[in-house]
Amino acid sequence: MSGLDSVDLSTANAVAAGTNKSTKRIVAYGIGGKLMGTKSMTDVTAEELSKDSVAEMLAKDKKIKEKYAKQKHISEQPWTLENWHKHINWLNFILVLAVPVGGLVSTRWVPLTWNTFVTAIILYCFGGLSITAGYHRHWAHRAYDCKAPLKIFFALFGASAIEGSIKMWGHQHRVHHRYTDTPRDPYDAKRGFWYSHMGWMLLVPNPRYKARADISDLLDDWVVRAQHRHYLLLMVFMAFFFPAILTHYLFNDFWGGFIYAGLLRAAFIQQATFCVNSLAHWIGEQPFDDRRTPRDHILTALVTFGEGYHNFHHEFPSDYRNALKWYQYDPTKVVIYCMSKVGLAFNLKKFSQNAIDQGILQQQQKKIDRMRAKLNWGPQLSELPVWDKSTFFEKAKEQKGLVIISGIVHDCANFLTEHPGGQALLRTSFGKDATMAFNGGVYAHSNAAHNMLATLRVAVIRDGGANGDTFDAQLRFIKFIYDLS
C-alpha cells in the first residue's frame, strides 16, 4: 500500500531480536553458556535477519548459495570417514551420552535402595516441573509471574535437568516459536523425529539459518543472570552432588544418590523434556490448527508433566495452561494454579475462550469440508443441461423414469425398486411433475430423501423455477400451508 508508512522491517526485527537495546553481555564462567545450546545458531544481527523482504532475501540467498557453491559448510557436506567427527557437537555429545551411560554402567557396583529410589522420583519431579513451569511457561512464555523464592527454586532445580541455562533455553525456545517448522527453527520438526529430539544439539548446525528472539526481559531478571553466570557450577552441584549429599545424610547412601538420583534421574528428565520437541510435533490430534506440526497427545503429556497439548500451546503460547479439559493431564498447570493460591505465582494468563473456540470450530469445519468433498451430492444445477418442457415430454415418452420435482428432472428408473414408499407411487409420477406429491401432497419426504433425490438429477426445466435446495423449499411450502390454515 503505497503512500502509507509501513513498519520498517529492519527496526522491527531489531526489536524482535532484542538487538535494539544495549544490554550488557552476561558471560557464563567456563563452558557453562555453551552447554546444550546451539549458540552458533543465534549469533546473528537483526540487520541480517531483516533482509528478509522479498527482494533482499532473494539477493542474500543467492550470495549465500554462491559462497557455499565453492566451499560448503560442514552441515551441508555428506558424512564421510574423514569428516564425520566435524559434524558432531562433542561438548553436547559427551554430556547427553556420558550422563546416561555413566549412570547405567555404575549401577553394577551400587544397588538401588527403596529410599534412594523415592528421593530420585521426587527430584525427578522437581527438575521436570522446574523446566515446564519455570523455564518454559514462566520464563520463555511469560504466561504468569513468579515471586523470588519460586524463581530460585526453578533456577536451581532447572539446572539439575542439564538442559542449559534459562537464558540459553528461553532464547532457543522463543526462536522455536517464532520460526516453527522453518529451517530457522532450532528443533525444526520437518527435519524428522531424531533431529528434533536430539540431533539438533548433537550436530553442528548450519550457519545459514541463524535466528534470534528478544530476551531483554529475561536479562532484566537477576535470577536468570545469576543462574547463567554460575551455570556450570550450579548444574554440576544440583544434578549430581546435591542428590548424593542428600541421600548421604538421610540414608547414608552417597553413591546411590549420585548414580540414581543424580545421573540416571537427569538422563530421564532430559529424554522426557526432549519429547516436547519431537513427540509433540509428531503424534496426535490437531484440534486448533493443522497447518503446522504441533500436535496434542496424551502420551506426550504423560512423559512431560502435561506439555503434550502442543497444538494448543503453539496457537496460544502465553496461556499458563496446556490442557483445557479437566480430564486432560497437565500437572504443570495444576502446580502453577496452586502456587497462585499460596501467593507465589500471579498474573496467570489465559487466552479468551472465544479465540480458543474459534480455532476448534475452524478445524471441525475443515474436517467436515473434507468429508463433504468425498460424498456424492448429485450434480449442481449449473452443471445440468436445460430442457424445454417439450423436450421433457418427448424424452419422457421414450425413457421411463423421468420425474420433475422443484423444476429439476430426475431419472428414477433405477430407484424404482429401492423406493421405501413403494413402486406404485413412483410409477404414477413418471413423466410428470411430482413437486406437490413429493413435498407433502402425498408425503413430506425426509431430508435424507431429498439428498437421494439430488443424486438422480439429469436436467433443469427452462423457466421451471429450479431450486437446488429442495428440502428447504419443502419446509417453506409446509410452513406456508400451516400458516394459512
Q: What grid cell was written down for 173? A: 525456545
Three-state DSSP string of 272-331: HHHCCCCHHHCCCECCCCCCCCCCECHHHHHHCCCCCEHHHHHHCCCCCCCCCCCCCCCH
Q: Within 10 Å of residue 274's Cβ, how many Cβ atoms?
A: 20
- Residue 419 in contact with residue 426, Cβ under 8 Å? yes
177 part of the interface to ligand HEM, by CB under 6 A: yes
According to CB under 6 A, which residues from 178 to 217 bind ligand HEM? Answer: 178
404 part of the interface to ligand HEM, by CB under 6 A: no
- Cα 106 from Cα 255, distance rounded (Å): 9
* Closer of 36 and 356 to a copy of itself (Cβ): 356
DSSP 260: I
* Closer of 212 and 230 to a copy of itself (Cβ): 212
Report what 208 binds from ligand HEM, a copy of itself, none; CB cut-off 5-8 Å by kind: none
420 part of the interface to ligand HEM, by CB under 6 A: yes
**Burial environment of residue 248 by CB neighbours within 10 A (0 to 12, 13 to 18, 19 or more):** middle
Binding map of a copy of itself across residues 315-354, x = CB under 8 A, - = no contact: xxxx------------------------------x-xx-x
Binder among 410, 433, 458, 459 for ligand HEM (CB under 6 A): 410
Sheet containing 402-405: order of strands: 386-387, 457-461, 408-411, 402-405
174 part of the interface to ligand HEM, by CB under 6 A: yes
- Cα 328 from Cα 307, distance rounded (Å): 11
According to CB under 8 A, which residues from 34 to 73 bind a copy of itself? Answer: 52-54, 57-58, 61
Binding map of a copy of itself across residues 9-38, x = CB under 8 A, - = no contact: x-xxx-xx----------------------
* Closer of 16 and 49 to ligand HEM (Cβ): 16
- Cα 55 from Cα 52, distance rounded (Å): 8
* Closer of 250 and 478 to ligand HEM (Cβ): 478
Binder among 27, 69, 81, 375 for a copy of itself (CB under 8 A): 375
Binding map of ligand HEM across residues 435-474, x = CB under 6 A, - = no contact: --xx---xx-xx-xx--xx---------------------
According to CB under 8 A, which residues from 262 to 301 bind a copy of itself? Answer: 288-289, 291-292
Select from 288, 343, 338, 345 the least CA-distant residue to 317.
288
Binding map of a copy of itself across residues 202-231, x = CB under 8 A, - = no contact: ------------x--x--------------
Q: What's the alpha-carbon Rg for the chain, to the nearest Å?
A: 33
The DSSP string of 93-146 is: HHHHHHHHHHHHHHTTTSPPPHHHHHHHHHHHHHHHHIIIIIIIIIIIT--SEE
- Residue 18 in contact with residue 214, Cβ under 8 Å? yes
Residue 361 corresponds to which amino acid?
Answer: L
Select from 67, 97, 73, 100 the least CA-distant residue to 87.
73
* Closer of 121 and 425 to ligand HEM (Cβ): 425
* Closer of 139 and 258 to ligand HEM (Cβ): 139
Binder among 23, 77, 358, 380 for a copy of itself (CB under 8 A): 358
349 part of the interface to ligand HEM, by CB under 6 A: no
373 part of the interface to a copy of itself, by CB under 8 A: no
Q: How far is the CB of 56 from a copy of itself (least distance, A)?
A: 11
Bridge partners, residue 411, by sequence = 402
Report what 424 binds from a copy of itself, ligand HEM, none; CB cut-off 5-8 Å by kind: a copy of itself
Binder among 77, 83, 252, 447 for a copy of itself (CB under 8 A): 447
- Cα 287 from Cα 309, distance rounded (Å): 10
Helix (H, G, I), strand (E, B) or coil at 341: helix
* Closer of 7 and 373 to ligand HEM (Cβ): 7
* Closer of 125 and 449 to ligand HEM (Cβ): 449
7 part of the interface to ligand HEM, by CB under 6 A: yes
Report what 234 binds from a copy of itself, ligand HEM, none; CB cut-off 5-8 Å by kind: none
- Cα 261 from Cα 109, distance rounded (Å): 15
Binding map of ligand HEM across residues 15-44, x = CB under 6 A, - = no contact: -x----------------------------
CA distances from 150 to 301, 339, 342 (A): 23, 9, 11
The sign of the torsion formed by the CA atoms of 269, 272, 274, 277 equals negative
Contact positions vs ligand HEM (CB under 6 A): 7, 12, 16, 174, 177-178, 315, 317, 403, 410, 412, 415, 419-421, 425-426, 429, 434, 437-438, 442-443, 445-446, 448-449, 452-453
